[in-house]
Chain A
């Protein structure tokens, strides 16, 4: 198994057989890719929450009684027919589940990338998480 400590190196094999890095330029590109992956990960978290909020604000369903906080247009009229409402909620929830799968997979990919014990990659993941958080979280409170 690879050495169990962080090293600075231009050689690495990340995740897949074809992703083998052997030059500084390749390493720079790999760090960039990993950084973007981390940004995507943070955005997915925010995306899931926003999708939920959006669905709640545009649907008036019985589930809203269980829900708290910001969603606050109180349109209490149940004007939409039930089947259409349920279908929209189903589609929204299905979309959220897909985002969740993507989030789980990307989270594991980031963990495996850090497991390569390459310090540049590690910096890329950490920096990407920071940048992703910085860019995505303000969008959470935007209406």
Chain B
């Protein structure tokens, strides 16, 4: 995932009407020396709980253990789907890169002879269907990766475990027979 955490901050500003039982003092730039942060509106440390857990959208609030279990499964499947989508995009990209252009040009050789140098270009056309499909899938992938980041940002232990476990399971299942070409320079990949 190549995004910055700051993108998620703007979404949290819209959640300022969360219904929390603790009163919220005006936010200070420098925390008090007691070091206690329980009075902060948004949790900044990991916790395990299932009461009044707001997830992503205004109406999605978890209040019972049953709802938390459902949310766990949903987040797990979302993370698995994200990994599968990544693998699927890689596969589609490889399959669609069949248009190879060979471009031969004469170049001067060492002894005054003329050599033919051949350049090979692999690529997609911009308006071709595979490229459009890749773009749509890319948008979906970016949105889901941001959702997963925001879910992790709730600092709820259960949901974070669901994200990690889903990512691991998805990776395990979908890249079973993956090709070697791995783009490990992709951040958070």
Contact = CB atoms under 8 A, between A and B. Distances in A.
Interface string B135-161: 000000000000001001101000010
Interface stretch (B36-44, B53-61, B65-73): B36-44
A115 B7 CA distance: 11
Nearest to B29: A3
Contacts, number: 110
Given A111-B5, A114-B5, A101 B44 contact: no
A13 B37 contact: yes
A58 interface: no
Interface string A29-44: 0000000000000000
A13 B175 CA distance: 37
B19 to A, nearest CB: 15
Nearest to B185: A45
A13 to B, nearest CB: 5
Interface string A83-119: 0000000000110111011011101100110111000
B172 interface: yes
B164 A13 contact: no
Contacts of A111: 5, 149, 152-153
A7 B9 CA distance: 16
B182 A11 contact: no
Contact of A1 (B42, B165, B168, B189): B42
Contact of B44 (A2, A11, A93): A2
B176 interface: yes
A123 B27 CA distance: 24
Nearest to A107: B188
B182 A100 contact: no
B172 A71 contact: no
B30 A49 contact: no
Contacts of B29: 3, 7
Interface string B162-186: 0111011101100111011110100
Given A101-B167, A108-B149, A108-B152, A22 B179 contact: no
A7 B172 CA distance: 40
B37 A101 contact: no
A1 B27 contact: yes
B51 interface: no
Nearest to A67: B180
Given A12-B31, A13-B31, A68-B181, 5 more contacts: A45-B189, A52-B180, A66-B179, A96-B171, A115-B153
**4 residue pairs, one from A and one from B, having the closest CB atoms:** A101-B168, A97-B172, A67-B180, A100-B171
Interface of B: 1, 5, 8-9, 12, 27-31, 33, 35, 37, 40-42, 44-47, 149, 152-153, 155, 160, 163-165, 167-169, 171-172, 175-177, 179-182, 184, 188-189
5 contacts: A7-B29, A9-B31, A66-B177, A100-B167, A112-B5
